[in-house]
Structure 1
Amino acid sequence: MEKVLELLADGGFHSGEALGSVAGISRAAIWKKLKMLEALGLQIDSVKGRGYRLHPGVELLNNKRILDALDPSVREAVVVHTCLKTASTNDLVREIPVASPSIKGVCLAEYQTSGRGRRGRAWDNPFGSTISMSLRWFYSAGMASLEGLSLAVGLGVLKALERCGAGNLKLKWPNDVLWSSPDGFQKLSGILLELHGDPTGDCEVIIGIGVNIALSQKQINNINQPAVDMQRVCGTTVSRNRVASELINGLCRTLDIFSQRGFGHFQEQWEQYDAFAGQNVVLDASGNMVSGIASGVNGHGGLLLKTSEGMKIFNGGEVSLKAVTLGKSK
Structure 2
Amino acid sequence: MCVAISDKQKQLLQLLADGEFHSGTELARQLGVSRSAVWKQVAGLADLGLHHAAVTGKGYRLEKPLELLAAQAIINGLDPAVLPLLAQLELHDQIDSTNVYLSQQAQNYAPAGTVCFAEHQTAGKGRRGRQWVSPFGSNLYLSVLWRFQQGYASTAGLSLAIGVAVIRALRQQQLHPVGLKWPNDIMSAGKKLGGILIEVSGESDGPCAVVIGLGINLFVPDSAAQGINQAWTDASKVNPAISLNRNQLAASLLNQLLAVLADFEQVGIKAYLDEWRSYDCLQGQSATLFIADQPYPGIVQGVDDSGLLLLQHPDGRTQAFASGEVSFSRTPL
Correspondent of 2:209 among 177, 188, 204: 204
The TM-score normalised by the length of structure 1 is: 0.88
**CA deviation vs aligned residue, 1:274-302 (integer Å, no higher than 9, x gap):** 11112222211122222222111122211
Structure 1 position 260, deviation (Å): 1.8
Q: C-alpha deviations, 1:219-275, integer Å up to 9, x for none?
A: 345421111111111213222222211111111112123122000111111111111
The offset of 1:48, in angstroms, is 3.3
- Paired with 2:29 and 2:145, the residues of 1 have a C-alpha distance of 39
Cα RMSD (Å) of the superposition?
Answer: 2.5
Cα 1:68–1:51, aligned 2, differ >3 Å: closer, same or farther? farther
SS state at 1:157 partner: helix
Measured in 2, the distance between the counterparts of 1:44 and 1:155 equals 37
Structure 1 portions without partners, runs of 5+: none
Structure 2: state its 5+ residue gaps: 1-8
1:312 corresponds to 2:319: yes
- Kindly tell me: are residues 44 and 80 of structure 1, through their superposed partners in 2, closer, same or farther at Cα, counting changes over 3 Å? farther
Match of 2:35 among 27, 30, 44: 27
The 3-state SS of whatever aligns with 1:111 is coil
Provide the secondary structure at the position in 2 that maps to 1:224: coil
Residue 84 in structure 1 maps to residue 93 in structure 2: yes
Q: What corresponds to 1:148 in structure 2?
A: 157
1:81 Cα deviation after fit: 1.1
Q: Could you tell me whether the CA contact under 8 Å between 1:45 and 1:52 is conserved in 2?
A: yes
Aligned pairs for 1:208-227 (under 5 A) are 208-227=213-232
**Partner of residue 242 from structure 1, selected from 235, 248, 269:** 248
Q: How much identity, in percent, do the aligned residues show?
A: 37
TM-fit CA distance, 1:145: 1.4
Task: Give matches, 1:129-278, under 5 Å.
Answer: 129-180=138-189, 185-235=190-240, 236-278=242-284
Per the TM alignment, residue 41 of structure 1 is displaced from its structure 2 partner at its CA by 1.7
Q: 1:21 to 1:67 in 2, by over 3 A?
A: farther
Other-structure match for 2:119: 110
Shift of 1:56: 4.1
Distance (whole Å) between structure 1 residues aligned to residue 63 and residue 69 of structure 2: 15
Distance 2:12 2:63 in 1: 15
1:54-113: CA deviation from partner (whole Å, max 9, x where unpaired):
44443222222112111123233222111111111112234669xx97641111111111
CA distance in 1, matches of 2:105, 2:70: 18
The aligned counterpart of 2:16 is 8
Return the offset for 1:3: 2.6
Q: 1:171 to 1:290 in 2, by over 3 A?
A: same
SS of the residue corresponding to residue 81 of structure 2 reads: helix
Match for 1:233: what amino acid? V
Moved more, 40-49 or 258-267: 40-49
Cα displacement (A) at 1:22? 4.6
Alignment of 1:51-62 (within 5 A): 51-62=59-70
- Alpha-carbon offset, residue 25 of structure 1: 3.5
Inter-partner Cα distance in structure 1 for 2:102 and 2:16: 27
Output the TM-score relative to the length of structure 2. 0.88
Specify whether residues 57 and 10 from structure 1 end up closer, same or farther in structure 2 by C-alpha distance, changes over 3 A only: closer
Among 278, 282, 288, the alignment partner of 2:288 is 282
Q: C-alpha separation between the residues in 1 aligned to 2:83 and 2:26?
A: 36
Report if the CA contact (8 A) 2:141-2:216 is conserved: yes
Q: Which has the higher strand share?
A: 1
The residue type paired with residue 40 of structure 1 is L
- On the 8 A contact 1:220/1:228 being kept in 2, the answer is no
CA contact (8 A) 1:74 1:252 kept: yes
Quick one: which amino acid aligns to residue 208 of structure 1? G
What is the SS of the residue equivalent to 2:143? strand
Structure 1 contact 305–311 (Cα < 8 Å) conserved: yes
> SS at the partner of 1:38?
helix
Aligned pair count? Answer: 321
Measure, in 1, the Cα distance between the counterparts of 2:254 and 2:51: 26
Shift of 1:152: 1.0
Question: Quick one: which amino acid aligns to residue 285 of structure 2?
Answer: Q
